Amino acid sequence: MHKSFFNSEAMKSIYASLICILIGLLAGYVVLTLIHAGGSAKAIWTILINFMSRASVPAQLKALGNTLSKTAPLLMCALSICFCYKVGLFNIGAAGQYEAGAGIALYAALVFQQPWYVCMVLAALAGALFGALSGFLKARRNVNEVISGIMLNWILLYVVNAILSGAAKDPASPYTKDLSLANPSALLPTLGLNQLFANNRSVTIAVPLAIIFAVLVTVVLEKTKFGFELKATGYNKEAARYAGMKENQNIIITLMIGGALAGLGAAFLFLSGYQKWEVTSASVPSMGFNGIAATFLGALNPIGTIFSSFFIQSISDGGSMIDRMLYPSQVSDLISAIIIYLCGFMMFVKEIMTRKKRQNIKKAETKKGGAQA
């Protein structure tokens, strides 16, 4: 039993993720050394330990709180991608659904003065709407969800920029208004969590809520008939149709749920008061890209994404703390990108090995049957 546990599929996935992390960190260290050898060891250590590099305990706790505040929306984007991937769909449009959620939540909060719970619901609905649009294009017009997702990412970026450039914008800056001043009722409640992190106001109920959603996604996919039907549709559309399942409807529902998760993620970040929307931004938010990293690093397991999301966000924050005079902060993004490719490669190798194992078992059974005959 002890031996079988360490040889289980779950442990193999953990081993693979750890190998990807180590290789990613090694690659980051090599790049840092090539840029400036003198401080590369200190820089990679700073990236790795993140908040622990702060001088005092209160500063460390506050930095940890900031990381957790950004981990919650990242986890929601990772869950969005993971949920859809489990059903055979690659929701690369999570970034656009995240943008839609951010836009509607901030507009409702800053222009219509709505409370936080209304803004959260609207963010989820906005994300679900554009997720459903990708699903409709996939199900009814056979448009690849990756293509429609990428297009919507850029379309929604500029639509949200335009919407928030009016009454929601701070006249003195390229950012939206300060939520704590414009509408304090739109800020997510902390329930005392901020006191655990040196009175960091950005640590809100978003953190435990994101973890709860990870558990819910696991239960839905693994323990319900609804989840079984969705996964069956992803595995084989024709077989699902033959079994009486509505495969086109399931595709739309899957991407709609994925969109709602990503939209909620945006609400978790922007309604915490930690970050404002930059209305002049010309790049898609990195949450979608980092969500892919967290999904694959978490071995496509909703519970695994909790830990991988924290790790990805932690090294990202750590990258912003290295010596900017010597190194670019984007080194942490490079590490994340390497991890994505390595995880994808290992999944590919694992799939080949699994297929080969099945073929060998089938051959052995056939040979055994022939011998008995």
Phi, psi of 85 (to 5 degrees): -65, -35
Phi, psi of 304 (to 5 degrees): -60, -30
- How many other C-beta atoms lie within 10 A of the C-beta of residue 267? 32
Task: Tell me the C-alpha distance between 154 and 282, whole Å.
Answer: 9
Q: Domains of the chain (ranges plus CATH)?
A: 56-317 (1.10.3470)
| The pLDDT of residue 193 | 95
| CB 327 within 8 Å of CB 43 | yes
- Please report, for residues 6, 148, 373, the alpha-carbon distance to residue 277 in angstroms, rounded to integers and kept in the order given: 46, 24, 72
The pLDDT tens digits of the residues spanning 95-149 come to: 999 999 999 999 999 999 999 999 999 999 999 999 999 999 999 999 999 999 9
Tens-digit pLDDT profile for the chain (373 aa)? Answer: 455 555 666 677 778 888 888 988 999 999 999 998 988 999 999 999 888 888 899 999 999 999 999 999 999 999 999 999 988 899 999 999 999 999 999 999 999 999 999 999 999 999 999 999 999 999 999 999 999 999 999 999 999 999 999 999 999 999 999 999 999 999 999 999 999 999 999 999 999 999 999 999 999 999 999 999 888 887 777 777 787 788 889 999 999 999 999 999 999 999 999 999 999 999 999 898 889 889 988 988 999 999 999 999 999 899 888 887 888 877 888 887 888 778 777 766 666 666 676 677 767 767 666 666 5
Q: What are 278's strand-pairing partners? A: 175
Task: Tell me the C-alpha distance between 175 and 54, whole Å.
Answer: 28
DSSP 114-145: --HHHHHHHHHHHHHHHHHHHHHHHHHH---H
State the alpha helices, DSSP H only, in the chain. Answer: 2-6, 9-35, 40-49, 57-86, 94-110, 116-141, 145-164, 179-182, 206-223, 225-235, 237-242, 247-270, 286-297, 302-319, 331-372
